[in-house]
């Protein structure tokens, strides 16, 4: 078996063959020359100070924490104290985070070194990272193509070798889509696994943090430091603190996988054939695979978007120029100030979602749209629960296509939403989902992603299946 690049790096850092300062300063140099627009900001001072602390600890001979000296990029929707938290929006361009997110505290406690913030679609709204108001990110494998979104900067950073790993966020596929388009690994854990304290919420009943890394081991190593309950986020689950890394290669016997036939409807044939090869590889390792019929999956996309619009419109109310957001010049009362600030500082997709979300949650329409959609989400959850009674994982493609050309879908919001058809089912049900590379598409020569969806709170099994399917 090939030595995981993350494992190799961890070993070099542990033995002192590579100092944390060397590791971090090499990355900082590379980030400063970044041609792909992966990073919004480099945390040079903070990173070097943290790296030196790790090296001093090694010199003293003490046991190093698990992520000691690894360089971590952070999606810029997550608070890092004293650094700009922009959500890639003009609205928050100058906003400085007053505290660290819980996930950030945990990474630093484990010795990880934050090297900078990565680009995203404005307020996480998008599937290709072309909606950032602050930077343009392109795919390092073909710079005429999109990087995927919304955590596109993180995936580009990993694919271009600008950091060891990243902390990202996935509401409807924002970890898995860019991981798939860039040929790297992304894991969105079960809802409630990682604290969302200090994360700018897009849709609070869907959002979840997770890693985008170069391999499964890298994702497992970061994830195991992040999981666990947090009194500051009441949705976090208590259990789950376990060693994912050391059990990674112990695929349990007799695992059962479901492959919904709907996952291949409308899927590009080049994507399908590579994904089917991954499924066969798992079969050859003893996983029992069964094709299933899951007609309710077709409701995932409307359920996702209607509820995300509603929750997003509510989350965005605080950006009014008074509580949060850019300054205003002319407004004389609350409505005119809020209107002025929002018109001038939010992009069209963000405005569209605020308007639609406000509309479907008004008193007149709530029953027909919002409440009905909540019921449909519940049905989807129940259907997944049935599937997981007789299966351990669900397998399929991550995205029905490979990375499209920059600009191809920017003018057509519906086309962009449709691209999420295979990632949103996991989010609607609060499940975990991950993407690993399945190979290069025969025609586009771009990476294809293989998706594994896991049972609630069974991240260990999910990671083992990913490791078994990894080349
Ligand atoms: N493409 C999805 C959306 O635009 C994903 C967003 C996300 O996961 N943050 O809603």
Residue 154 in contact with ligand 1 by CB distance below 6 A: no
Atom of ligand 1 nearest to the CA of 206: 8
Average pLDDT over residues 355-382: 95
Predicted pLDDT of residue 245 = 94
**pLDDT tens-digit profile of 264-314?**
999 999 999 999 999 999 999 999 999 999 999 999 999 999 999 999 999
Per-residue pLDDT tens for 189-243? 999 999 999 999 999 999 999 999 999 999 999 999 999 999 999 999 876 678 9
pLDDT digits (tens, 9 = 90+) for 58-95: 999 878 999 999 999 999 999 999 999 999 999 999 99
Whether residue 1 is predicted with pLDDT greater than 50 in this model: the reply is no
Contacts of 370 (CB under 8 A, 6+ apart): 306, 307, 310, 360, 361
Q: Quick one: pLDDT band at residue 325, thresholds 50, 70, 90?
A: confident
Q: Give yes or no for residue 148 CB within 6 A of ligand 1.
A: no
pLDDT value for 323: 84
Confidence of residue 330 (pLDDT cuts 50, 70, 90): confident
Give the per-residue pLDDT at 411: 87
Among candidates 72, 106, 190, which has minimal Cα distance to 460?
A: 190
Give the pLDDT score at 239. Answer: 63
* Sole residue written with tokens 């619009």: 309
Contact 119, 37 (CB under 8 A): yes
Contact 392 CB / ligand 1 (< 6 Å):
no
Q: How far is the C-alpha of 215 from the C-alpha of 90, rounded, in Å? A: 34
Ligand 1 center–CA 120 separation, angstroms: 10
Asked if the model's pLDDT at residue 339 lies above 70, the reply is yes
Q: Domain spans of the chain?
A: 3-236
Strand duo 39-42 + 113-118: pairing = antiparallel
- Which atom number of ligand 1 is nearest to the Cα of residue 173? 8
Given a cut of 80, whether residue 174 has pLDDT beyond it is yes
pTM: predicted TM-score of the whole model, two decimal places: 0.97
Low-confidence winner among 109-113, 187-191, 361-365 (lowest mean pLDDT)? 361-365
Choice between 471 and 442, residue whose per-residue pLDDT is larger: 442
Q: Tokens 């049900």 map to which residue?
A: 429
**Mean pLDDT rounded to a whole number for the chain:** 95
pLDDT tens-digit readout, 373-389: 999 999 999 999 999 99
What is the model's pLDDT at position 402? 98
Is it the case that residue 361 has pLDDT exceeding 70? yes
Give the integer Cα–Cα distance in Å for 310 and 313.
5
pLDDT of residue 73: 98
Question: Domain 3-236, what architecture?
Answer: Alpha-Beta Complex (3.90)
Question: For position 62, what pLDDT does the model report?
Answer: 79
470 lines ligand 1 (CB under 6 A): no
Percent of the chain with pLDDT over 90: 91
To test the ligand 1 pocket, which listed residue (124, 152, 200, 315) has its Cβ within 8 A of the most ligand atoms?
124
Is pLDDT at 410 greater than 90 in this prediction?
A: no
* Ligand 1 pocket, residue 173 CB under 6 Å: yes
CA of 308, closest atom in ligand 1: 10
pLDDT at res. 97? 97
Q: Is 174 a catalytic residue?
A: yes
| DSSP string of 212-265, one letter each residue | EESSHHHHHHHHHHHBS-BTTBTT--S-----TTTTTT-PPTT-EEEEEGGGGT
For the beta sheet containing 288-292, the strands, ordered from the edge strand earlier in sequence to the opposite edge, are 39-42, 113-118, 71-75, 165-169, 209-213, 185-188, 432-440, 447-454, 393-397, 256-260, 288-292
Task: Check if 247 is active-site.
Answer: no
């Amino acid at each position: 078996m090939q030595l995981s690049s993350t494992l190799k790096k961890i070993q070099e850092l542990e033995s002192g063959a590579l100092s944390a300062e060397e590791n971090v300063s090499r990355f900082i140099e590379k980030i400063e020359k970044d041609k792909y627009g992966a990073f919004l900001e480099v945390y040079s001072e903070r990173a070097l100070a943290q790296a030196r602390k790790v090296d001093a600890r090694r010199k003293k001979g003490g046991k190093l924490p698990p992520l000691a000296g690894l360089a971590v990029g952070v999606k810029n929707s997550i608070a890092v104290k004293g650094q700009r938290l922009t959500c890639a929006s003009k609205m928050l361009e100058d906003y400085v985070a007053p505290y660290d997110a819980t996930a950030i505290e945990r990474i630093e406690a484990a010795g990880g070194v934050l090297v900078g913030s990565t680009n995203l679609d404005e307020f996480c709204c998008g599937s290709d990272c072309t909606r950032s108001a602050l930077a343009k990110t392109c795919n390092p494998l073909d710079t005429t193509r999109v990087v995927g979104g919304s955590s596109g900067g993180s995936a580009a950073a990993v694919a271009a070798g600008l950091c060891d790993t990243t902390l990202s966020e996935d509401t409807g596929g924002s970890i898995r889509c860019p991981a798939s388009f860039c040929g790297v690994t992304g894991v969105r854990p079960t809802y409630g696994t990682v604290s969302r304290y200090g994360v700018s919420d897009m849709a609070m009943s869907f959002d979840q943090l997770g890693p985008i890394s170069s391999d499964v081991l890298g994702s497992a190593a970061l994830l195991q430091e992040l999981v666990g309950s947090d009194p500051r986020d009441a949705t976090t689950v208590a259990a789950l603190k376990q060693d994912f890394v050391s059990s990674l290669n112990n695929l349990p016997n007799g695992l059962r996988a479901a492959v919904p036939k709907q996952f291949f409807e409308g899927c590009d044939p080049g994507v399908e054939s590579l994904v089917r090869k991954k499924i066969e590889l798992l079969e050859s390792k003893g996983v029992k695979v069964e094709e299933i019929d899951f007609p309710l999956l077709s409701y995932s996309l409307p359920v996702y978007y209607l509820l995300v619009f509603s929750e997003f419109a509510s989350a965005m109310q605080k950006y009014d120029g008074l509580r949060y957001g850019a300054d205003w010049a002319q407004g004389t009362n609350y409505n005119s100030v809020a209107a002025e600030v929002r018109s001038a500082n939010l992009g069209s997709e963000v405005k569209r979602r605020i308007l639609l979300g406000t509309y479907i949650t008004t008193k007149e329409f709530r029953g027909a749209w919002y409440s009905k959609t909540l019921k449909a989400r519940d049905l989807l959850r129940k259907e997944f629960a049935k599937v997981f009674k007789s299966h351990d994982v669900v397998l399929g493609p991550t995205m029905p296509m490979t990375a499209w050309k920059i600009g191809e879908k920017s003018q057509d919001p519906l086309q962009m939403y449709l691209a999420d058809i295979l990632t949103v089912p996991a989010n609607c049900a609060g499940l975990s989902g991950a993407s690993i590379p399945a190979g290069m598409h025969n025609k586009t020569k771009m990476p294809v992603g293989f998706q594994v969806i896991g049972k609630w709170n069974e991240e260990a099994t999910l990671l083992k299946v990913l490791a078994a399917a990894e080349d």
